[in-house]
Amino acid sequence: MGEHSADVAPKGKAAPRRTSIGGRRNPASASAILEAAEAILSETGLAGFSIEAVARRAGAGKPTIYRWWPNRSALLMDVYARQKETVLRVDTGTLEGDLVELLTRLFAFWRDTPAGATFRSIIAEAQSDPASLAALQSFLADRRAYVGEVVARGIARGDLPPKADLPSLVELIFGFAWMRLLTGDIAAPDADHVPDALPARVRLLLRGAAATA
Amino acid sequence: MGEHSADVAPKGKAAPRRTSIGGRRNPASASAILEAAEAILSETGLAGFSIEAVARRAGAGKPTIYRWWPNRSALLMDVYARQKETVLRVDTGTLEGDLVELLTRLFAFWRDTPAGATFRSIIAEAQSDPASLAALQSFLADRRAYVGEVVARGIARGDLPPKADLPSLVELIFGFAWMRLLTGDIAAPDADHVPDALPARVRLLLRGAAATA
């Protein structure tokens, strides 16, 4: 990727653009590139996913792609963020139900589409590449904010007291989901397709270890 | 590593040996190799860590190392598992205190030694290499069992009811720690060197989101 560094904006300017579409990107081309990337990912998986393949499929030049996404990992992050949008919309009527449903859907999304392999690869890449880590942190902040809204709705409904520790709850939910993904433990063994022990984990988060007796 | 495959035992036999020293390994050589690996890791970090460098330092042949550890990642896993032993011995008198202390020490260990970078690299490698994932799962099961004992001691002391959901508690603790490590969020900002919001996370796990008001 070194040969494309001339196309990449200075670090300080590029960072905020990396996790959201729009701004100074040409919307038509950006969405054509993301659609091409998504199609390649679902057809061939990560193995066939490269900036070159995406450029060919989108009918775009590689320099165009590198101008908006500094590397493969940043492009993957945007494709992943786009796909996940629909998964998180839950409304079962209770906070406990919402969290179980949300995690069940998330695990199914990871398990049944290329998204799980994609996100594992994004997290892996972030362990050695600071730019990928920054993009991942920013994505995670967005998603935590969304789950924070689900919890806030539960608080408004009286499912939790107004002063419940929302940041702790949200962080522990994401930690649980990530570890399950990263250890390959997202299978859905029961008749309702709810992953192993998931409702128990949600119950503990809401009621505490002391209350689960 | 393909050229060494003749030295590697059949998969079914190699797997149980990968995460523990002993069995049919020659103890003297195995421990010399692990010591050499540990020394290289703390002097040069992951960048200088290779089977070749470890062999040179230990005065061992590369085939000898490959006979016991099929790849760099398996050797890293054993070095990491050895280093961590001392970190987890906590006994503050309360379960809440033990868990805060255990996580504080773990984060310091990850932050202040090469162990954090090592473990991030192990987790990253496990995302594309099934043998590394199997070794990681087995290591994780061991560590969960140990933290399970800390929790069981708390139950015996009456800090939690006898029927508390120990598996949920232990899994959520590890998920929290992993996510902090993988997002680079293990800094210790306060005067007691306790990482950000760590006591709040432990409190939520023990008392539940509903009780933290």
pLDDT at position B11 is: 39
CATH of the domain at A25: 1.10.10.60
At residue B171 the predicted structure's pLDDT band, cuts being 50, 70 and 90, is very high
Q: Which of B59, B80, B101 is the last residue of a domain?
A: B80
Q: Judge: A160–B209 Cβ closer than 8 Å, yes or no.
A: yes
| Chain A residues touching residue B136 (CB < 8 angstroms) | 183
Same domain, B207 and B103: yes
Q: Please compute the mean of the pLDDT values over residues B55-66 and round it to a whole number.
A: 92
Mean of the per-residue pLDDT values of chain A: 84
Q: Please compute the mean of the pLDDT values over residues B99-121 and round it to a whole number.
A: 92
* Partner residue facing B168 (CB), from A168, A174, A204: A204
Number of domains forming the structure of chain A: 2
Q: Please compute the mean of the pLDDT values over residues B174-179 and round it to a whole number.
A: 98
| Chain A residues touching residue B184 (CB < 8 angstroms) | 133, 137
Same domain, A43 and A148: no
Q: Could you read off the pLDDT of A20-32 as tens digits, one per residue?
A: 444 456 666 888 9
Domain that holds residue A166: 81-212
CATH of the domain at B125: 1.10.357.10
Specify which of B10-24, B58-72, B174-188 reaches the highest per-range mean pLDDT.
B174-188
Q: Could you read off the pLDDT of A119-133 as tens digits, one per residue?
A: 999 999 999 889 889
Q: Is the ipTM of this complex over 0.85?
A: no
At residue B58 the predicted structure's pLDDT band, cuts being 50, 70 and 90, is very high
Same domain, B120 and B201: yes
Judged by average pLDDT, the poorest of A37-46, A118-127, B19-28 is B19-28
Number of A/B CB contacts below 8 angstroms equals 166
Can you read off the two tokens belonging to residue A210?
């002391």
Q: Judge: A204–B169 Cβ closer than 8 Å, yes or no.
A: yes
pLDDT at position A86 is: 65
Q: Could you read off the pLDDT of B119-143 as tens digits, one per residue?
A: 999 999 999 889 889 989 999 999 9
Interface residue of B122, B168, B173, B178 to substitute, partner A, most A CBs within 10 Å: B168
- Of B6, B58, B172, give the one whose Cα is nearest residue A99: B172
Same domain, B203 and B101: yes
- Of A102, A115, A119, A92, give the one whose Cα is nearest residue A205: A102
Query: Which ranges constitute the DSSP H helices of chain A?
Result: 11-14, 27-44, 51-58, 62-68, 72-84, 95-112, 115-126, 130-156, 166-182, 198-207
Same domain, A95 and A191: yes
Same domain, B167 and B76: no
pLDDT of residue A34 exceeding 50, the answer is: yes
pLDDT of residue A11 exceeding 80, the answer is: no
pLDDT at position A28 is: 66
Q: Which of A48, A72, A96 is the last residue of a domain?
A: A72
Same domain, A65 and A90: no
Same domain, A95 and A172: yes
Phi then psi dihedrals of residue A143, to 5 deg: -70, -35
Same domain, A65 and A86: no
pLDDT of residue B83 exceeding 60, the answer is: yes
- Of B160, B209, B173, B165, give the one whose Cα is nearest residue A199: B165
Rg, chain B, Cα only: 19
Mean of the per-residue pLDDT values of chain B: 84
pLDDT at position A113 is: 86
| Chain B residues touching residue A49 (CB < 8 angstroms) | none
Same domain, A66 and A137: no
Q: Please compute the mean of the pLDDT values over residues B76-88 and round it to a whole number.
A: 78
At residue B6 the predicted structure's pLDDT band, cuts being 50, 70 and 90, is very low
Same domain, A107 and A177: yes
Q: Which of A72, A100, A119 is the last residue of a domain?
A: A72
Same domain, B154 and B63: no
